[in-house]
């Protein structure tokens, strides 16, 4: 197990700059998310760390060792791919055993290790199946077991749940979190889903257009975003002139209060406990407010009604 240091890494593809002088440190034993929209360079950064892409400039250190010139197979990383990269012609058992077989470990050791891992990822009964006979979630757990089998120093996950449906995705996230608590290997997960990053990771690296926008815990990113991009990427946001405010910091009242402004209720959307109110201000700007069911019942909101709006915890970025 080892930490990872990325120093001034730049990567270009045919004139497109995927990574622009990126430096970041991934602490040993952490679970870090690389978060960003598509094309932000997050997958490229992961592949540079894995050794599947070589950077045009900069260095990658795993532990204290400079691995920039090493091929992927020598880096001791476990990688899980978005589309599973299951070896279709091998059984689940042989898939998981692959890395050990390559290393010519004794048969008995391989058998014990594979069964231990299949138990860990809850696929004990499916050792003889082929990948085609598994569900997407099972395939991805197999891929994870395969990556873990060689006891990698770091575990790299490239949008591992991207191809799964929403419910399975949620289950696997919680499961991954628990798994990390058990095995404690330094883990990087690439995702474009801010909820996934917040739920799973202890540290989040936000990327945009090949640069790092901010590094911090989920709470730090949400409460004190470094800039407009991070603020709008990690949660919904209203923009009024130069100030930004989260919908749950928009307060509504029937009577005018200090600092409040008038707005008309356009639409009330009930989502269960949460209710979303779409408002139109006198100056023509639209505003979203996030309230609870109780609030809305108290105010008896109806479309067309005039209410008074006050925002707290607003932010401005230079």
Partner 1 sequence: MSRYVIRFGALGYLALLLLLPVGFVFYRAFDHGFSHAWHAVTTPAAVHALELTLLIAAIAVPANTVFGIVMALALVRGRLPGRGLLNAAVDLPLALSPVVVGLSLVLLYGRGGWLGGLAGHGLKILFAFPGMVLATMFVSLPFVVREVVPVLREIGTEQEQAAETLGAGPFQTFRRITFPAIRWAVAYGVVLTTARAIGEFGAVSAVSGNIEGRTQTLPLYVKAQFDGFDTAGAYASSVVLAMIAIAVVVALRALHPREEAG
Q: Which residue ranges make up the site for partner 1 (CB under 8 A)?
A: 50-52, 71-75, 77-79, 81, 83, 85-89, 98-99, 102-103, 143, 146-147, 149-150, 156
Tell which residue, 157, 151, 142, has the closest CA to residue 91: 142
Reported as half-sphere exposure (CB side, CA atoms, 13 A), residue 260 has a value of 16
Q: Name the residue nearer to partner 1 (CB basis): 156 or 263.
A: 156
Compute the least distance from the CB of residue 94 to partner 1, in Å.
Answer: 9
- Residue 176 structure tokens: 């991954």
Compute the least distance from the CB of residue 146 to partner 1, in Å.
Answer: 7
Q: Name the residue nearer to partner 1 (CB basis): 97 or 289.
A: 97
Compute the least distance from the CB of residue 209 to partner 1, in Å.
Answer: 25
Compute the least distance from the CB of residue 108 to partner 1, in Å.
Answer: 20
Compute the least distance from the CB of residue 79 to partner 1, in Å.
Answer: 4
Task: Give residues with Cβ within 8 angstroms of 80, minimum separation 6.
Answer: 140, 143, 144, 147, 155, 156, 157, 158, 160
Task: Give residues with Cβ within 8 angstroms of 262, minimum separation 6.
Answer: 256, 281, 282, 306, 307, 308, 309
Q: Name the residue nearer to partner 1 (CB basis): 60 or 77.
A: 77
Q: Are strands 211-216 and 274-281 parallel, antiparallel or unpaired?
A: unpaired
- Per DSSP, the three-state class of 301 is coil
Q: Name the residue nearer to partner 1 (CB basis): 113 or 246.
A: 113
Compute the least distance from the CB of residue 87 to partner 1, in Å.
Answer: 6
DSSP string for 159-228: STTTTS-HHHHHHHHHHHHHHHHHH--EEEEEES-HHHHHHH-SEEEEEETTEEEEEE-HHHHHHS-SSH
Q: Name the residue nearer to partner 1 (CB basis): 4 or 50.
A: 50
Q: Name the residue nearer to partner 1 (CB basis): 84 or 244.
A: 84
């Amino acid at each position: 197990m080892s930490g990872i240091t990325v120093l001034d890494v730049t990567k270009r593809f045919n004139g497109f700059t995927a990574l622009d002088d990126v430096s970041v440190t991934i602490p040993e034993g952490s679970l870090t998310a690389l978060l960003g929209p598509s094309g932000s360079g997050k997958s490229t950064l992961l592949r540079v760390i894995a050794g599947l892409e070589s950077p045009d400039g900069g260095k990658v250190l795993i532990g204290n060792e400079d691995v920039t010139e090493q091929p992927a197979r020598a880096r001791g990383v476990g990688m899980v791919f978005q589309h599973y990269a299951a070896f279709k012609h091998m059984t689940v058992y042989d898939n998981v055993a692959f890395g050990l077989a390559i290393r010519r470990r004794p048969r008995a050791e391989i058998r014990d290790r594979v069964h231990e891992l299949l138990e860990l990822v809850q696929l004990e009964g499916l050792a003889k199946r082929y990948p085609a006979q598994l569900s997407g979630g099972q395939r991805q757990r197999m891929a994870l077991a395969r990556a873990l089998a060689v006891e990698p120093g770091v575990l790299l996950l490239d949008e591992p749940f991207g191809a799964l449906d929403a419910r399975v995705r949620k289950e696997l996230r919680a499961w991954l979190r628990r798994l990390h608590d058990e095995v404690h290997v330094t883990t990087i997960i690439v995702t474009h889903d801010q909820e996934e990053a917040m739920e799973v990771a202890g540290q989040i690296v936000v990327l945009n257009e090949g640069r790092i926008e901010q590094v911090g815990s989920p709470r730090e990113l949400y409460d004190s975003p470094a800039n407009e991009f991070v603020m709008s990427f990690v949660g919904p946001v209203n923009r009024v002139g130069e100030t930004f405010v989260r919908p749950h910091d928009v307060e509504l009242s029937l009577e005018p209060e200090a600092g409040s402004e008038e707005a008309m209720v356009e639409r009330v959307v009930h989502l269960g406990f949460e209710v979303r109110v779409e408002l139109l201000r006198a100056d023509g700007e639209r505003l979203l407010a996030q309230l609870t069911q109780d609030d809305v019942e108290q105010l008896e909101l109806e479309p067309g009604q005039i209410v008074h709006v006050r925002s707290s915890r607003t932010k401005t970025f230079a």
